[in-house]
């Protein structure tokens, strides 16, 4: 099981989980000091990855560290038609992680507006035909909540992320992952998800809630990835540390 957070470079983590006056270029080193053995790279959603950047990150880590990389928005929000050339460019950017044997999988996070339809399913299958590395998909619209659809995607080598989200209309997504990779993303339970996007991830899980999440995680097969995305003010890092301790306690 690998545990970490969705991203590591947040200004509001300085003074909360990173030491005061931590510089941006030192944030990943401070992240590693927290004891995590994996990270989601999410800046690749906004800009294409560069080999030099990925190589530099990889060189800071031990051999058992894992990087899971978020697909660029062109794949999940803009639906670029030239997927093949776009993917080859993206793949070239993350190649150092693959060569260093520290690459976990690609993350395709689709928005609430990506609703279940025949066209949407066809797009996912087209995407997987192009992507030749492990791929996990997260949905944000509960119209996708259908085990039959999930199992069909699994047959095409797409794993479905198990998510924890506010239990409000439209967001009651699958908590259980499907596929070869048991992948979890915990976003917090802020009920103002749709009304206050700036503070959407402002939520601190209680110890009781973390124990509930741990039971669900331990009931799934390896390989397991667990990432906290309630990133506001370093809450993701704090909860991930607590969660790691709970997993050790439950296992012992």
> How does pLDDT run along the chain (252 residues), one tens digit per residue?
999 999 999 999 999 999 999 999 999 999 999 999 999 999 999 999 999 999 999 999 999 999 999 999 999 988 766 889 999 999 999 999 999 999 999 999 999 999 999 999 999 999 999 999 999 999 999 899 999 999 999 999 999 999 999 888 777 888 999 999 999 999 999 988 888 777 889 999 999 999 999 999 999 999 999 999 999 999 999 999 999 999 998 887
State how far the Cα of 134 lies from the Cα of 157, in Å rounded to an integer.
Answer: 8
State how far the Cα of 9 lies from the Cα of 123, in Å rounded to an integer.
Answer: 31
What is the Rg, in whole angstroms, of the alpha carbon atoms belonging to the chain?
17
> Other C-beta atoms within 10 Å of 230: how many?
26
Q: Which residues of 128-150 are buried (b: 16+ CB within 10 A; e: fewer)?
A: beebeebbbbbbbbbebeeeebb
Note the pLDDT tens digit of each residue in 94-109. 999 999 999 999 999 9
Which pLDDT belongs to residue 235? Answer: 97
What's the predicted TM-score (pTM) here? 0.95
Helix, strand, or coil here: 133?
coil
Query: Is the CB of residue 100 less than 8 Å from the CB of residue 66?
Result: no
Query: Is the CB of residue 148 less than 8 Å from the CB of residue 119?
Result: no
Please report the domains of the chain, with CATH numbers, ordered by start residue.
2-251 (3.20.20.410)
Which pLDDT belongs to residue 168? Answer: 82
CA atoms within 13 A on the CB side of 159: 24
């Amino acid at each position: 099981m690998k545990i970490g957070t969705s991203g590591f470079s947040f200004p509001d983590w300085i003074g909360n989980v990173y030491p005061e006056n931590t510089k941006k270029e030192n944030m990943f080193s401070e992240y590693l000091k927290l004891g995590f053995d994996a990270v989601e790279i999410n800046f690749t959603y906004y800009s294409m990855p560069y080999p030099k950047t990925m190589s530099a990150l990889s060189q800071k880590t031990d051999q058992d560290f894992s990087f899971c990389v978020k697909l660029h928005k062109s794949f999940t929000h803009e639906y670029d038609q030239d997927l093949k050339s776009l993917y080859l460019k993206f793949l070239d950017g993350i190649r150092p992680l693959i060569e260093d044997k520290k690459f976990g999988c690609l993350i395709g996070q689709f928005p609430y507006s990506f609703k279940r339809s025949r066209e949407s399913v066809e797009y996912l299958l087209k995407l997987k035909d192009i992507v030749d590395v492990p791929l996990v998909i997260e949905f944000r619209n509960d119209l996708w909540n259908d085990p039959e659809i999930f199992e069909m995607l699994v047959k095409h080598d797409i794993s479905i992320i198990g998510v924890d989200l506010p239990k409000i209309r439209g967001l009651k997504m699958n908590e259980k992952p499907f596929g070869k990779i048991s992948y979890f993303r915990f976003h917090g339970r802020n009920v103002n998800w749709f009304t206050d996007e700036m503070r959407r991830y402002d939520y601190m899980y209680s110890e009781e809630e973390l124990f509930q999440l741990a039971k669900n995680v331990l009931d799934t097969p390896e390989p397991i990835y667990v990432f906290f995305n309630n990133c506001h003010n370093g809450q993701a890092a704090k909860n991930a540390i607590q969660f790691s301790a709970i997993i050790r306690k439950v296992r012992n």
